[in-house]
């Protein structure tokens, strides 16, 4: 049983199918509604704008799914994790389904920074003739251009099996490289080939 003064629950869920097209904010709102429908005793913040004490993991780009995403939910009392999971499963939709949950400690890192290393699986519409990682990628953020070096974010080599790619990216405090952006730049010379799906299949700590 967790510390009686800290009922902090880490909830795992999958984002798939049509729900892969939801934005991070839309996913957050949908799961907050699921928590309410499940009737869980969630904690509420103090102040002029009280809200559910819930914190989500690293955001996925629109169109990218995830097999084990997570969020942290502050509870006001202990309920067995399996019972919480069952209640949330009943309140969730199939493409945004809670799969499990566990209590974590008060000193554990927040879900948003706990797992900076992500592995992605990509299914392409065809097998590319050439697939090279560019030396640099230009991105625009907040109306400002920034040049990224993919080598700074890639962990290991990109594994290719015909039209299926698997690669791992490291999100750093100074910045990150989105999987869809990396993929678009790698496929720049292969006209007509596109991603049928991009899925984050694993998240882990450093």
Residue in 57, 65, 53, 82 with CA at minimum distance from that of residue 22: 65
Residue bearing tokens 């592995």: 119
Q: Are residues 127 and 194 in the same domain?
A: yes
Dihedral sign (CA 74, 76, 77, 79): negative
Question: DSSP state, 199?
Answer: E
The reported pLDDT for the residue numbered 149 is: 95
| Segments forming the whole domain that contains residue 68 | 7-113
CATH of the domain at 60: 3.30.70.580
pTM of the model: 0.92
Cβ 87 vs Cβ 38: under 8 Å: yes
Give DSSP secondary structure letters for 142-156.
TTEEEEE-GGGTB-S
Which of residues 80, 113, 146 is at a domain's end? 113
Q: Are residues 70 and 90 in the same domain?
A: yes
Asked whether residue 1 is domain-assigned, the answer is no
- The per-residue pLDDT for range 143-155, each reduced to its tens digit, is 888 899 999 999 9
Of residues 2 and 187, more confidence is placed in 187
Which tokens is 174 given? Answer: 């100074």
Cβ 32 vs Cβ 55: under 8 Å: no
Q: Are residues 75 and 128 in the same domain?
A: no
The reported pLDDT for the residue numbered 5 is: 56
Range 45-71 average pLDDT: 94
Rounded to whole angstroms, how far apart are CA atoms 50 and 128?
Answer: 51
- The per-residue pLDDT for range 67-106, each reduced to its tens digit, is 999 999 999 999 999 999 999 999 999 999 999 999 999 8
As a whole number, the mean pLDDT across the chain is: 93
Residue in 77, 93, 84, 80 with CA at minimum distance from that of residue 38: 84
Q: How confident is the model at residue 109 (pLDDT cuts 50, 70, 90)?
A: very high
**Count of domains for the chain:** 2
Range 3-25 average pLDDT: 90
Residue 4, pLDDT above cutoff 60:
no
Rounded to whole angstroms, how far apart are CA atoms 200 and 64?
Answer: 7
Asked whether residue 47 is domain-assigned, the answer is yes
Q: Are residues 75 and 162 in the same domain?
A: no
Q: How confident is the model at residue 48 (pLDDT cuts 50, 70, 90)?
A: confident
Residue 189, pLDDT above cutoff 70:
no
Asked whether residue 2 is domain-assigned, the answer is no
Cβ 197 vs Cβ 60: under 8 Å: no
Residue 3, pLDDT above cutoff 60:
no
- The per-residue pLDDT for range 169-181, each reduced to its tens digit, is 999 988 899 999 9
Residue 158, pLDDT above cutoff 90:
yes
Q: Are residues 160 and 78 in the same domain?
A: no
């Amino acid at each position: 049983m967790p510390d009686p003064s800290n009922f902090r629950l880490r909830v795992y869920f999958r984002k798939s199918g049509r729900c892969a097209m939801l934005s991070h904010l839309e996913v957050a709102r949908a799961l907050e509604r699921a928590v309410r429908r499940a009737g869980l005793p969630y904690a509420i913040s103090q102040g002029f704008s009280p809200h559910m004490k819930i914190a989500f993991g690293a955001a996925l780009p629109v169109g990218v799914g995830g097999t084990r995403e997570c969020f942290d939910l502050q509870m006001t009392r202990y309920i067995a994790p399996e019972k919480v999971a069952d209640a949330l499963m009943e309140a969730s939709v199939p493409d945004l389904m809670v799969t499990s949950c566990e209590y974590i400690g008060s000193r554990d890192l927040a879900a948003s920074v706990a797992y900076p290393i992500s592995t992605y699986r990509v299914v392409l519409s065809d097998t590319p003739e050439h697939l090279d990682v560019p030396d640099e990628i230009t991105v625009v953020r907040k109306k400002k251009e920034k040049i990224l070096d993919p080598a700074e974010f890639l962990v290991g080599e990109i594994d290719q099996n015909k039209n299926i790619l698997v690669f791992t990216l490291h999100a750093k405090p100074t910045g990150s490289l989105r999987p869809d952006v990396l993929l678009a730049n790698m496929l720049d010379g292969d006209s007509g080939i596109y991603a049928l799906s991009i899925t984050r299949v694993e998240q882990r700590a450093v």
